[in-house]
Amino acid sequence: MTWTPDDTWIAATGALCALACSLPGCFLVLRKMSMMGDAISHAVLPGLAIAFLVTGDRASLPMFLGAAATGVLTAVFTQWITRFGNIDQGAAMGIVFTTLFALGLILIVQAADHVDLDPGCVLYGAIEFITFDTISLGPLEIPRAALVNGGALLLNLIVIAALYKELRLGSFDPGLADTLGFSSGLLHYLLMTLVAVTTVAAFESVGSIIVIAMMIVPPAAALLLTRRLLPMLLLSSAIAGGSAVLGHWAALVLPPMLGFERTNTSGMIAFTAGLLFTLAWIFSPTEGLLKRHTAASGPPGDPA
Amino acid sequence: MAHEHPPDCPLSVHDLTVAYQRKPVIWDVDLNIPEGKLVGIVGPNGAGKSTLLKACLDLIPKTSGWVHIYGQPYRTNRHLVGYVPQRESVDWDFPVSALDVVAMGTYRRLGWFRPVGKTEKSLAMEALEKVGIAHLSGRQISQLSGGQQQRVFLARALAQEARVYFMDEPFAAVDAATEQAIVTLLQELRDSGRTCLVVHHDLATVPQYFDWLIFLNLRVVASGPTAEVFTEDNLRKTYGGKLSLLDHAAEAIRRS
């Protein structure tokens, strides 16, 4: 195996994207709406298509805004259907994102003569080719994908650091949040905006499979290893970043060993996250499979 | 009519109706609650007790009528109000410690963006001491018993440093020691001039715990000092034909 500077950029971009996704993902998992990342990553398609049809070119900014707007709309529609249709949130999410995704497909076929929005590329992305599209910053040639995902990560870090206590309160007890004057609706849509922006940033550069995996798998694994929010965010970030680096490395090493020519880095990164989750599941100090076999008693609890 | 709702009342409710999907859940509720009372809200399941609390706290929309806290709408006077929701309303597996949850009571004073600091943590610790579980402050909340979880919720309300408290079934499924601790706490709050409105289910303990009662079943059947309104007549009007319950209550009346 030869690890080139390009590989460093690919792994770094994967890690930036994984970190950016796993941070809002922790709050999604805690709010029991993990599939929102999946829903939004599909639902942004009509936003991309409409932005293209309106502006007529693939300039990034209008596409980005169009997609992010549809992402947030997914959350709005889901909320409406849940509240007024008396339908559970999972089903409402499914209705909204499949409808929007289908609309996106129809629009893309309409526009197919003019645009190369390849549905396959949308799904597992083209992280291997990010070094062909770079932006010069002084002496450095930085892949555009690294900057976009780094930007999303920075945005998530700033918002979560600034509103840590508000997001925690809104996720744990939205009723109390409202009575204290912290609108739980506002916090919900703020989180949904972060998810949408992160999804679009990642989707455009590295494909949606990393988004879907990184919003759920590292937070869920972290929750098996700790019972505190801050350690959960940190562990989840470590697992996400680790998956990206290990995943790309495995994508280089494994195929020659198994006699294949090449494999897909995005897929390998997501798969690695799944493996790390399995390890967390086996070795978790509280819920782990090993723990269950070795100790018959549950966690300590004093009688009142 | 000018004195119908005195402005210094901790809670005055005027012609309040709340409806879910056009079906009224509480109807034409009119209340004046005097300061420094332990107020029990009693009524059968589905009588609208939680709905009344939530409507007072602006958590659900009112169909008509208004609610004033010390003469002002809730929005203006939310700093005077503490809230203890039903224990089942939150996910106790959430990764926070008992202290983290209690500190949430201080968030309104902190406001947006300012993080929890030493002052808030020591306030939360004091509140935990008052409910007798300071030694469990670092424990993740799923590792607390039901009674301890309820104490955490009460401590959080104490940390709000309010003048009027709304509590939704604080006695539900708690052990005897916790029940006693909560009663003592409520009495201390009352003695320091606070007003507590408590949704309560056990009719047998009603006359013993509360000095003011609201009988609710869609409408307010009766509201007033316990000595005056805790009568078989009001119980029958509130609970209708649920006789076994009434026997239970009749016994409580005899004992009181």
What CATH number corresponds to the domain at position A248? 1.10.3470.10
Q: What pLDDT band is residue A303 in, cutting at 50, 70 and 90? A: very low
Nearest Cβ partner for A304 among B94, B101, B177: B177
Q: Please write down the HEC assignment for all residues of chain B.
A: CCCCCCCCCCEEEEEEEEEECCEEEEEEEEEEECCCCEEEEECCCCCCHHHHHHHHCCCCCCCEEEEEECCECHHHHHHHEEEECCHHHCCCCCCCEHHHHHHHHHHHHHCCCCCCCHHHHHHHHHHHHHCCCHHHCCCEHHHCCHHHHHHHHHHHHHHCCCCEEEEECCCCCCCHHHHHHHHHHHHHHHHCCCEEEEECCCHHHHHHHCCEEEEEECEEEEEEEHHHHCCHHHHHHHHCCCHHHHHHHHHHHHHC
- The total of structural domains in chain A comes to 1
- Would A129 be classed as within a structural domain? no
Quick check: B140 and A227 CB within 8 A?
yes
- Would A40 be classed as within a structural domain? yes
What CATH number corresponds to the domain at position B63? 3.40.50.300
Question: How far apart are the C-alpha atoms of B228 and B213, rounded to whole Å?
Answer: 9
- Would B237 be classed as within a structural domain? yes
pLDDT of residue A129: 82
Q: Does pLDDT of B244 surpass 70? A: no
pLDDT in tens, B77-135: 999 999 999 999 999 999 999 999 999 999 999 999 999 999 999 999 999 999 999 99
Question: How far apart are the C-alpha atoms of B125 and B130, rounded to whole Å?
Answer: 9
- Would A234 be classed as within a structural domain? yes
Give the CA distances from residue A301 to residues A225, B66, B150, in Å, rounded to whole numbers and listed in that order: 19, 44, 15
Question: How far apart are the C-alpha atoms of A158 and A151, rounded to whole Å?
Answer: 11
Nearest residue of chain A to residue B151 (CA atoms):
A304
Give the CA distances from residue B231 to residues A248, B226, B251, B256, in Å, rounded to whole numbers and listed in that order: 76, 9, 11, 11
Residue range A22-45: average pLDDT? 91
| Burial of A244: CB neighbours in 10 Å, binned 0-12, 13-18, 19+ | buried
pLDDT of residue A87: 87
Upper half-sphere CA count for residue B119 (Cβ side, 13 Å)? 6
Q: Other C-beta atoms within 10 Å of A193: how many? A: 18
Structural domain including B235 reads 11-90+163-255
- Would B152 be classed as within a structural domain? no
pLDDT of residue A304: 38
- Would A133 be classed as within a structural domain? no
Q: Which residues of B touch A165 (CB under 8 A)?
A: 104, 107, 110, 115-116
- The total of structural domains in chain B comes to 1
Q: What pLDDT band is residue B251 in, cutting at 50, 70 and 90? A: low
pLDDT of residue B2: 42
Q: What is the dihedral of CA A28, A207, A154, A150, to 10 degrees?
A: 160
Quick check: B108 and A300 CB within 8 A?
no
Q: What pLDDT band is residue A132 in, cutting at 50, 70 and 90? A: confident
Q: Which residues of A touch B113 (CB under 8 A)?
A: 162-163
pLDDT of residue A295: 60
- Would A70 be classed as within a structural domain? yes
Q: Which residues of B touch A223 (CB under 8 A)?
A: 95
Q: What are the tokens at B175?
A: 């052990």
- Would A294 be classed as within a structural domain? no
The answer to whether A74 touches A96, Cβ cutoff 8 Å, is: yes
Query: CA-based Rg of chain B, rounded to a whole angstrom?
Result: 18
Q: Which residues of B touch A168 (CB under 8 A)?
A: 96, 100
- Would B25 be classed as within a structural domain? yes
Q: Which residues contact A111 (CB under 8 A, 6 or more apart)?
A: A49, A52, A53, A117
Structural domain including A99 reads 5-117+138-283
Q: Other C-beta atoms within 10 Å of B192: how many? A: 9
Q: Pick from A89-93, A163-167, A199-203 the range whose average pLDDT is largest.
A: A163-167
- Would A127 be classed as within a structural domain? no
- Would B136 be classed as within a structural domain? no
ipTM value greater than 0.90: yes
Backbone angles phi, psi at B213, to 5 degrees: -130, 145
pLDDT of residue B196: 97
Nearest Cβ partner for A30 among B57, B94, B151: B94
Lateral strand order in the sheet of B64-69: B23-33, B11-20, B64-69
The answer to whether A192 touches A36, Cβ cutoff 8 Å, is: yes
Q: How far is A229 from chain B (nearest CA, A)?
A: 5
Nearest residue of chain A to residue B116 (CA atoms):
A165
Nearest Cβ partner for A168 among B59, B96, B140: B96
Q: How far is B230 from chain A (nearest CA, A)?
A: 31
- Would B21 be classed as within a structural domain? yes
Q: How far is A256 from chain B (nearest CA, A)?
A: 43
Residue range B171-181: average pLDDT? 93
In this prediction the pTM is 0.91
Q: What pLDDT band is residue A121 in, cutting at 50, 70 and 90? A: low
pLDDT of residue B182: 95
Question: How far apart are the C-alpha atoms of A218 and A63, rounded to whole Å?
Answer: 29
Q: What pLDDT band is residue B1 in, cutting at 50, 70 and 90? A: very low
Nearest Cβ partner for A164 among B95, B115, B147: B115
Q: Which residues of B touch A163 (CB under 8 A)?
A: 112-113
How is residue A268 annotated by DSSP?
H
Upper half-sphere CA count for residue B206 (Cβ side, 13 Å)? 31
Question: How far apart are the C-alpha atoms of B153 and A158, rounded to whole Å?
Answer: 30
Residue in B51, B93, B99, B100 to test binding to A, most A beta-carbons within 10 Å = B100
pLDDT of residue B180: 95
Quick check: B104 and A172 CB within 8 A?
yes
Q: Which residues of A touch B96 (CB under 8 A)?
A: 168, 172, 228-229
Question: How far apart are the C-alpha atoms of B245 and B55, rounded to whole Å?
Answer: 28
Window 185-244 of A: residues touching B by CB (8 A cutoff) are 223, 226-229, 232
Question: How far apart are the C-alpha atoms of B2 and B181, rounded to whole Å?
Answer: 41
Q: How far is B232 from chain A (nearest CA, A)?
A: 35
- Would A302 be classed as within a structural domain? no
pLDDT of residue A257: 83
- Top pLDDT among A285 and B76 is at B76
Q: What are the tokens at A57?
A: 């070119």
Q: What are the tokens at B168?
A: 């939704």
